Structure 1
Amino acid sequence: MPQLAFANSFWESYDVLEKPVKAGLHKAMAKFQQLTIAELHADKGLHLESVEQARDPRMRTIRVTDSWRGIVLAPDDGSDTFLLINVVPHKEAYGWASKRLCTVNTATRGLEVRNVVAIEQLTPSLEKAAAEAPALLFSGYSDHVLRELGIDDQVMRAARTITGKAQLEAFGALLPEDQFEVLQYLAEGFSPEEVYRDVVTERAPAGTAPDSSESLAAAIANTAGRITVVTGPDHLAEILDRRG
């Protein structure tokens, strides 16, 4: 049977929904506790469908009401955990989902979400401005040091354009979560060794080497600070009762 997990940031969108939309969402969530994976894909009410031109081919949308859809990351690797990331108006859902990419952090091994399209569009213009800047925020850190802290090539390229803390914060909503936090710590003057101890080591699974080839279910399990896995119908009911 499949499992459903929630990105904890999802609740920011959930809390402002009107009651009929919440009711539709509850019904959709319950199906992940009741149906097999094959049945989920076949269910006409849920309407679990792929997203055209998605940067992450695992992105799916589900019908919540006629005017709202949920954004779901679906496993394609034999695992069985679906991740509910967001709920947005129908007309915005496909654009939102098509621009996001989920990746596994090579250091923490947690799952991260980024607006990959926005980063690609912004970085070239920022590089031009950075070429004329008197100082750059992360110029004192080598590529090797940043990679050891889980910064990947795309984020590193973007980070190399950042001139100050305000610009970093403005960029933050687009960046993968763990990587953004690493950059925040560095920007505040913490040493790479301190950041590795306080951020990376705290989140990485104990006793294993860095790896980016985790299954989706394993990566979700490694992201307990930002993702909640539903263990069954009673757990789902408890979570929803708490939210009101």
Structure 2
Amino acid sequence: MLRGYAQLDRRTRNRVDELMSIFQTSSVDELGKQKGVNLEKHTNQRDPQARTIRVSDNLRGIVCDLGDNDRHVLHEILPHDQAEDWMRRNQFRANEKTGALEVLDVDVIESMIAQAPKSAPDAGAMFAHRADKEFRQLGIDPNLVPALRAFTSDDQLQALFAALPETQANALILLTGDESTEAIFAEIAGDFEPDSIKTDDLAAALDTPASKAMYRLVADENELREMLARPLAQWRTFLHHSQDGIAYKPTF
């Protein structure tokens, strides 16, 4: 979200700040009644936990309701029509292996799974040196592995990254090399016990090392404003390389 926030004009940033303040000071029940917030579900949305909020006439914020009656995650700010498409295609989930709070473009992933070749992979494929269990241990969807095994170029892998969560994309990059699965897991998941959370426990996922590298949980509105006021270059140093969202307590 911070990349998008930094590119907004001042008037829109002020509106985002106003919305953050409303979420900070309102209960979950009150949010649904707040004038101008428009915290809404969509008829054809992929994920029942996803919501949008009204930023302006043409901008919407993508929000994840963590389901703990306490916190929401502001994931991205998009033009209205793109937000509609995002809601139709994407899903939040907790990765049982890495603990990461993930966003997946389900349409793209399902299409790749359906088109995966049935024949054995070429010896020159990018992941020919990796066993299936290594993908599973790093939280890669097992159904996606046959498609991945057909990849022979960086361009093919890069094209998939827009549909994959950051942790899975980073895992795949590292899997093209020779690092051990254990070393890769430590890089993307930190000190996390695999299978200790369920895929629908988004609140628990937000508190894992992998999620803390992507989402920032702050204590109050003042801390949030201070962080948003920093130059984006400082965020790139302060946070993990995959900073794409921001979460703040008690609701964002």
What is the TM-score with the length of structure 1 in the denominator? 0.84
C-alpha contact (below 8 Å) 1:80/1:217 kept by paired residues? no
Q: Percent identity?
A: 31
Q: Calculate the aligned-residue CA RMSD, in Å.
A: 2.3
- 1:168 and 2:168 correspond: no
Distance 2:69 2:202 in 1: 7
C-alpha contact (below 8 Å) 2:94/2:201 kept by paired residues? no
- 1:69 and 2:93 correspond: no
Residue of structure 1 equivalent to 2:36: 45
1:195-239 Cα distance to aligned partner (Å, 9 max, x none): 234334x2x43xx45234173222112111100113112112212
C-alpha contact (below 8 Å) 1:103/1:111 kept by paired residues? yes
C-alpha contact (below 8 Å) 2:50/2:92 kept by paired residues? no
Query: Partner letter of residue 91 of structure 2?
Result: L
Residue of structure 2 equivalent to 1:135: 124
For residues 154 and 132 of structure 1, do their structure 2 counterparts lie closer, same or farther at Cα, with a shift above 3 Å needed? closer
Residue of structure 2 equivalent to 1:227: 215
- Shift of the alpha carbon at 1:27? 0.9
Report SS of the residue matched to 2:230: helix
Distance 1:128 1:157 in 2: 7
1:83-136 Cα distance to aligned partner (Å, 9 max, x none): 1010011222111122111121222211111111122224433x2497685632
Residue of structure 2 equivalent to 1:23: 14
Residue of structure 1 equivalent to 2:195: 210
What is the TM-score with the length of structure 2 in the denominator? 0.81
Report SS of the residue matched to 1:69: strand
Residue of structure 1 equivalent to 2:230: 242
Residue of structure 2 equivalent to 1:36: 27
Residues paired across the two proteins, number: 229
- Shift of the alpha carbon at 1:168? 1.1
Distance 1:154 1:231 in 2: 39
Structure 1: stretches of 5+ with no match in the other structure? 1-9
Distance 1:218 1:143 in 2: 27
Structure 2: stretches of 5+ with no match in the other structure? 233-252
For residues 198 and 86 of structure 1, do their structure 2 counterparts lie closer, same or farther at Cα, with a shift above 3 Å needed? closer
